[in-house]
Amino acid sequence: MADFTPDRVLFVFSQPYLSRRRERLLADGLCRLSPLPARCIRLEGTGVSLPQALDIAVAEGARAILVQPVGLPFSESLSSWLPGALAHWQASAPPELQLRLGNDLALAPTLLGTVAAEAIGDCAQARPIEGVRPSLGPRGWSDPGTAEEHLFVCTGQRCHFREAPRLRALLQDELRRAGLLERCQVTESSCLGPCNLGPLVARYPDGSWYRLESLADVKELVATVLVRRDAASRLRVHRMVRAISAAETAG
Ligand code: FES
């Protein structure tokens, strides 16, 4: 294997339920402690996607980039998908650029030892549970709301790689503009399955799935599918089988 001396590190992690604040703390900590110029990329949700971060690194002059998974443990499925996705990006990168995917550090004995030692060393600060009111969630979590339809915006890692990160915000803006926020509930979802069709939005109860690649697509979905109720838009890439037979029976 050719020598590899990285001049840039991209730390990548996947944490679907991480708050913005915790994300920033993790990113700041890793970048501050990194001996090389570094950036932290979350592989889902909102924010800079991995291809965008790679493009930025190249534009800033990076010539050898280490993409380092961070997670305890890092997802096995992402570990096996990332090499192909990185090769896909590299096919259009400058030919002299070196790119490597670091090992999963989850089983590194020194890291595990540090976690175990820190946990025990810090246990005096552990939060007591005595005195906490028993609860599985606030009262609002019992209310399903009054929406007529439900849009699931995939924010999974592979749709994120295809630059879907802003879909949820764009969709919500367009729904607000069209006065449809009450009627259409929008929920972020993890991977819906057919990632190659992404970035995906699934609409229920209609059972139609749409591919939205741009702001223009989002506007078109809202105008044609949600306002004019024309579900069979050119953006539709799939429809659930039961939804099709129900429509045929009704028709
Ligand atoms: S990540 Fe969106 S469908 Fe798999």
pLDDT digits (tens, 9 = 90+) for 1-41: 678 999 999 999 998 888 889 999 999 999 999 999 999 99
Tokens matching residue 249: 């029976």
- Domain limits for position 73: 8-104
Inter-residue contact 161 to 50 (CB < 8 Å): yes
117-174 per-position pLDDT tens digit? 999 999 999 999 999 999 999 888 899 899 999 999 998 899 989 877 678 889 999 9
- What is the three-class DSSP state of 93? coil
39: CATH: 3.40.50.1400
Out of 71, 104, 137, a domain closes at 104
197-241 per-position pLDDT tens digit? 999 999 999 999 999 999 999 999 999 999 999 888 899 999 997
30-40 per-position pLDDT tens digit? 999 999 999 99
pLDDT given at position 231: 83
In a domain, 113, yes or no: no
Residue type, 128: P
Residue 155 Cα: closest atom of ligand 1 = 2
Mutate to test the pocket of ligand 1, among 154, 213, 237 (most ligand atoms within 8 A of CB): 154
Phi, psi angles (nearest 5°) of residue 87: -65, -35
In a domain, 124, yes or no: no
pLDDT at 243 over 70: no
Residue 119 CA, ligand 1 centroid: distance in Å: 35
Report d(CA 72, CA 171) in Å as an integer.
33
Same domain for 36 and 90: yes
In a domain, 221, yes or no: yes
Inter-residue contact 219 to 73 (CB < 8 Å): no
What is Dmax (Cα atoms) for the chain?
Answer: 68
Is residue 180 in contact with ligand 1, taking CB distance under 6 Å? no
Is residue 40 in contact with ligand 1, taking CB distance under 6 Å? no
In a domain, 130, yes or no: no
pLDDT given at position 140: 86
**How much is the average pLDDT of 45-57?**
90
pLDDT given at position 17: 80
**How much is the average pLDDT of 90-99?**
96
Total structural domains in the chain? 2
211: left (phi over 0), alpha (psi -120 to 50) or beta: beta
In a domain, 208, yes or no: yes
